[in-house]
Chain A
């Protein structure tokens, strides 16, 4: 008898908890369904290849910022990191200069460094992440302009351009990067001690500290990972457009944060999943693709996107209060 109730309690709890994530998944499937009914071009392999390739850059940034948001922080410098890392990589990627690994590693290193810089300032100064990364956003944009002397860096090697434009067995390389990054980030968040500590810090920083967690170390790690993922996005973007653009990535941070929030990550910290973020990023990609196919101008697309962000959070709030009642 006792056991029966325990099991019953468990299963209803799990159902209630799962609804939040399923909610966004159901919305995603329904939007895909509607779009495929309206326009036959939507549900084709070639269209989906385009969607996922386009989504990959935003998704990489969104994975990074999901870690950050779960700890209760935020990173507004993502777009600038995309620009700086892209410029650093492209400056070293001219044909016959270095093997392709050099610009890639240099770009990644630049991102990791910028992320670690964010983390250091945030943990040492106690200034809120919003303000610190608002500062580094501007600093980063300036650095990108300084390094490139304000001009696009073009004439990149073929092997470098393969990263964003090539494919393996017909699968575009960015999609492969996306899948690998998704699996790694999910495992880190769900299965490693770092992931558990990330949730703990976002859930209650004081209690996490009192449990012996070195909170500052974890935050450093999180902002550094976020910088590394931004660098990956920066390299992919630069390679795809075959030019290092100092103005690249402007505003990307907002799309990434939107993907995480649509996917159920709470800005107050402590909750969120990589699967949710991936669906959030795909949802944004699918809607903008669908509106393109329907010849809706980009002006209207922005209005729709904003409404979806608010709608997703409102729905999530309803779900949560329903679970509590």
Chain B
């Protein structure tokens, strides 16, 4: 690890409040040249607000930002960009119908003939050089929409480099890319570092932080908690800094016993998605599904739940073959599904916590089509308490909740439909460590009640920590069905990469 003495960005006493609530309170940061600086904290700790201020999207209430010794003040996004601070957003901002080169030089097009005629040849050449520099093998003339998420991210990095960025902020850059692509990304980050570019790296994934970060700054509830060198800070202390208390074991002890087979998936096929998938799930058991991005995990879950179709195979529920054509059929048969895509398939932002939570079981609270408000409110209140959902009240809109609480609302909705099987697809994606722990506890509570669980996850420690048995997929094929004793990170990875 190399620590450079000269700092490029210094932040002191930064504060920002929204309608009386402190989002940031006296926050500081000292970023050195050529350093990868991880910014950590639970959801709602103030990381996004902090970054939005840095790139000029928000104006701080107090505090100063020194960039290369000069104060950055009253800057808008364009000024900040020109000075050399770029941000790669979690949700990538691109124009799909334009080419790679056109996206990189969007707003800075090269022109000729009285700056009115576009010079695409020039930007294609420049883009070519940039893409070579970061080792991305796509033509600058390819339309952006044909790229994978990881490639799009690389293009964004190329764009930042072409902007002469001295500081690049990366917000959860690995949330949607595969392990192999993560390796490429890290190689690029190391390369940037060697060239003296500083990176502010935001992520919830501990493994990554320790792989890539030199320094770690932790925020909690909008306050600055501390900055430590990554080498000196062990995981346990980092978690303690983030949550403000100690979490000894992330995965709680299980006490459930295995019952009858509830769900059998037999030779499930869908052309181009998955091939010959078979597994059983017993009452009180957790079956994990592991595999790399694109291995077909989510596709299988969606097919079982009736969101997508499958071409052949059987789904057997307690010995009876069932025919599921829509999620409505699945719910009636006692299957619940919590999607990986919380925003897209999970909750309805414009509806309140109460209305979201009762949505899948609303017919239990109606008389002649009229909703019985009392009984609806009663079960909603009960579920909000059971799952410890933090909301200002059950009439608060779900949009205003944190990621972890939104996830709990979706889980609550599924549970109110009294399922016997619950499929959780990436249940802890993008939520903070405290909420993760609560979801793990909840999974154990549900298995104790005899519910059969299927947990899909990209995080191997999570799969290993929670599952009784693990189905491993590779490119749509089932390559292993491991027992808890057989399963290690290495064996899972071996089967996940098997062809």
Does B362 make an interface contact (CB < 8 A)?
yes
Q: How far is the CA of A285 from the CA of B51 in the complex (A)?
A: 50
A271-B350 contact given A193-B366, A212-B417, CB 8 Å threshold: yes
In the complex, whether A250 has a CB less than 8 A from a CB of chain B is no
Chain A residues with CB under 8 Å of B97's CB are: none
Q: Are B349 and A212 in contact (CB under 8 A)?
A: no
Distance between B407 CB and nearest chain A CB, rounded to angstroms: 13
B326 interface residue, CB < 8 Å from A? yes
Interface string of A60-80 (1 = CB under 8 A from B): 000000000000000000000
Q: Judge whether A13 and B307 touch: CB under 8 Å.
A: no
Closest Cβ–Cβ distance, residue B350 to chain A (whole Å): 4
Whether A13 contacts B328 by the Cβ 8 Å rule is: no
Tell me which residues across on chain A come within 8 A of B327, comparing CB atoms. 209-212
- Inter-chain CA distance A208–B331, complex, in Å, is 13
* Residue from B330, B350, B371, B413 within 8 A of A203 (CB atoms): B350
Label chain B's interface by main secondary structure.
Answer: mixed
The answer for the CA separation of A81 and B36 in the assembled complex, in Å, is 65
B355 surroundings in chain A (CB, below 8 A): 196, 199-200
CA distance A27 to B221 in the complex (A): 41
Beyond A10-B392, A206-B344, whether A193 also contacts B328 by CB under 8 A is no
Per the bound structure, the CA–CA distance linking A207 and B339 in Å amounts to 9
CA A212 – CA B326 in complex, angstroms? 8
Whether A291 sits at the interface, judged by CB under 8 Å, is no
Contact of A191 with B370 in the complex, beta carbons under 8 Å? yes
Q: Complex Cα distance A213/B359, Å? A: 8
Please tell me if the beta carbons of A6 and B392 are within 8 angstroms of each other in the complex. Answer: yes
- Contact of B396 with A196 in the complex, beta carbons under 8 Å: no
Q: Are A207 and B360 in contact (CB under 8 A)?
A: no
A-side interface mostly: helix
A10 to B400, CA, bound (A): 13
B326 near A13 (CB under 8 angstroms)? no
- A9 contacts B by Cβ under 8 Å: yes
Beta-carbon nearest neighbor of A217 in chain B? B328
Given contact pairs A194-B369, A206-B345, A10 touches B362 in the complex (Cβ within 8 A): no
Min C-beta distance of B289 to chain A, whole Å: 18
Most buried by B among A9, A191, A203: A203
Cβ-closest chain A residue relative to B355: A196
Q: How far is the CB of B484 from chain A (nearest CB, A)?
A: 30
Interface: B188 (CB within 8 A)? no
Whether the Cβ atoms of B392 and A207 lie closer than 8 Å is: no
Instruction: Answer whether residue B346 sits at the interface, using C-beta atoms and an 8 A cutoff.
Output: yes
Inter-chain CA distance A271–B366, complex, in Å, is 22
- Produce 1/0 per residue, B322-360, CB < 8 A to A: 000011101110000101000011111111000100011
Identify 12 residue pairs between A and B in the complex whose beta-carbon atoms are under 8 Å apart, listed by A's number: A5-B392, A9-B393, A10-B395, A13-B393, A14-B395, A193-B362, A196-B371, A200-B351, A200-B355, A211-B360, A213-B328, A214-B326
